[in-house]
Amino acid sequence: MKIVAFAGGVGGAKFAHGLAHVLPPEDLTVIVNTGDDFEHYGLYICPDLDTVCYTLAGMANPDTGWGRVNETWDVIENAARLGGPAWFRLGDQDLGTHLERTRRMKEGQTLSQITEDFCKAWDIQSMILPMSDQPVRTMVETEEGDLAFQEYFVHRRCEPRVRGFRFEGVEVAEPAPGVKEAIQAADAVIICPSNPWVSINPILHVVKSIEKPVIAISPIIGGKTVKGPAAKMYHELGIEPSAVAVARHYCDLITGFVFDTVDRQLEGEIKSLNLRTLVTNTLMHSHDDRKQLASHILSFIGTDL
């Protein structure tokens, strides 16, 4: 079964890793949000793309989910001692990725070409594509003014109350080469358990139309998120955070919805949105959890194709 997965950072990467374990590599394409990308210390940084690549390559830091395993921090600590900003922690190994990406971008290579080369170097078998080669920048509209995504997320620790979001550049951004083709060839598209507002919405804005069955996985479990501010964002936007809220968020686009067993009591309400449902364990503590969730979802999709 050919699958396209839409992913943001840590949660999306874990689920994509599960899919990579249960699908032949040629059957999986992961399309990754680049709305979180930014320039820092003059370097071009793609947090979600790197998180997905490091995770699929088995090089991700298991404690944070982002950055590299067995990382050291000499460069950023030395820069900080000289007065440089240290709020965004760039590890020594990770810096190699940003240096080489930036060098290639300055030469005129595209983000998708660079990602393809990096995936080869890291021996990643499945296809990982940035959503676009053109810059899209997520701006968080808050009660304290508009903040660039990493400024809001990392520097301000998601504290300012959210009023809305804007994806600068999205009107002119084209899907990266291979994105439309992968969707056209897919049997189904899976929306990973990533933040609907800031990880998945940018991808949906770029991709625009999907003429395939789409299945989404709720990143909200028991009214909370495992990681990140999705539940806080729903709350501040005046929506009670729940699996139902996520199902409503996507309901014009999806045919199936996957959510956690702790929310089993919400199944009737979700079914009434005209969605097929799969209630299962969606928490991914271990590698086995990732694989198991991926294979449950593939069986769920298979029953409807």
Task: From 45-53, 100-108, 175-183, 245-253, give the range in contact with ligand FO1 by CB under 6 A.
Answer: 45-53
Q: Shortest Cβ distance from residue 48 to ligand FO1 (Å)? A: 5
CA pair distance 141, 147, nearest whole angstrom = 6
Among 71, 75, 80, 89, binds ligand FO1 (CB under 6 A): 89
List the interface residues with ligand FO1, window 46-65 (CB under 6 A).
47-48, 50-51
Task: From 86-94, 107-115, 130-138, 257-265, give the range in contact with ligand FO1 by CB under 6 A.
Answer: 86-94
Among 80, 148, 154, 158, binds ligand FO1 (CB under 6 A): 154
Q: How many residues bind ligand FO1 (CB under 6 A)?
A: 16
Per-residue contact flags (x/-) with ligand FO1 for residues 105 to 144, judged by CB under 6 A: ----------------------------------------
Q: Does residue number 88 form part of the binding site for ligand FO1 (CB under 6 A)?
A: yes
Residue number with CB closer to ligand FO1 (87 or 181) = 87
Q: Does residue number 37 form part of the binding site for ligand FO1 (CB under 6 A)?
A: no
CA pair distance 14, 229, nearest whole angstrom = 17
Q: Does residue number 90 form part of the binding site for ligand FO1 (CB under 6 A)?
A: yes
Task: From 42-50, 113-121, 129-137, 207-215, give the range in contact with ligand FO1 by CB under 6 A.
Answer: 42-50
Q: Does residue number 251 form part of the binding site for ligand FO1 (CB under 6 A)?
A: no
Residues 95 and 50 sit within 8 Å (Cβ to Cβ)? no
Residue number with CB closer to ligand FO1 (13 or 170) = 13
List the interface residues with ligand FO1, window 173-212 (CB under 6 A).
none
Instruction: List all residues 6 or more positions away from 105 whose beta carbon is below 8 Å from its beta carbon.
Output: 44, 111, 114
Q: Shortest Cβ distance from residue 142 to ligand FO1 (Å)? A: 16
Residue number with CB closer to ligand FO1 (230 or 266) = 230
**What does the buried/exposed string (b/e) look like for 42-74 if buried means 16 or more CB atoms within 10 Å of the residue's CB?**
ebbbbbbbbbbbbbbbebbbeeebbbbeebebe
Q: Shortest Cβ distance from residue 210 to ligand FO1 (Å)? A: 22
CA pair distance 64, 158, nearest whole angstrom = 17
Interacting residues toward ligand FO1 by CB under 6 A: 8-9, 36, 47-48, 50-51, 66-67, 88-90, 94, 150, 153-154
